[in-house]
Structure 1
C-alpha cells in the first residue's frame, strides 16, 4: 500500500467527516499487516438511510477536497451498507441492523484497533 502516513491522514479525515455527521461507534482497524486490501478499515454506524448516505457523502467531500478520490462506491442506493474504497483506506458505513449482522469488527479481529488519537 501507499505511505502509511498518507493512509493515516486519510483515515483521520474520514473519521472526522463521519463524526461530523454524528456517526456512531466509529472504529478504525489497522489491517496493513494482515491484508493487501488496504491499510485501514474505518467502520461507522448510522440510525437511518439518510444519515448513512449523509455520512458517506461527507467522507467523499472531505477527502475529495484534499485530493483523494474514491476508486469505488458500493451500496449507496440501498443505504444500509455503503462501502467507500479510497485504495489505502476503506470506509464502511452501516445502518445499525446491518452493522450487527455483518460484524466486520469480528471478521477483522486480527487487525489492530486504533484510536483517533493514534492517527493524529
Structure 2
C-alpha cells in the first residue's frame, strides 16, 4: 500500500491514532447495534444478530396484525352492506329474472329471514 515510503506509513499511523473532535464522532449503542457518525458518514455495526432477528420478527408480526385488522374491517363493511339489503327489493329483482315457482320459494326464504329465522332450503326451478 505504501511501498517503501516509510514516512507516508508513519504519517498515516499518526493520523489514524488521533482522536476525532467530539462534534465529528457520535456513538449510540442500542438494541444490539453500535451506530457511529464519523464526519458526514454514518456506520451501523450489528453487535447482536439475535436482537436484529427479533426486531425483524416483531416488524413482520406487526405487519400481519395490520393486515388482519384491515381484513376484519373489510369483512365488517361487507356484512354491514349485506345487512342493509332490503328483502322486498331483492324479491322484486329476483321476480324479474326467475320463474314464478322459484320466486315463491325465494319470497318464503326472505320472509323467514325478515322474521329472524334461519333460512335453509332448496330453490328449484
Same fold by TM-score greater than 0.5: no
Q: Larger Cα Rg: Structure 1 or Structure 2? A: 2
TM-score normalised to the size of structure 1? 0.23
More strand by share: 1
Q: Quick one: higher RCO (CA 8 Å, sep 6+), 1 or 2?
A: 1
More helix by share: 2
TM-score normalised to the size of structure 2? 0.23
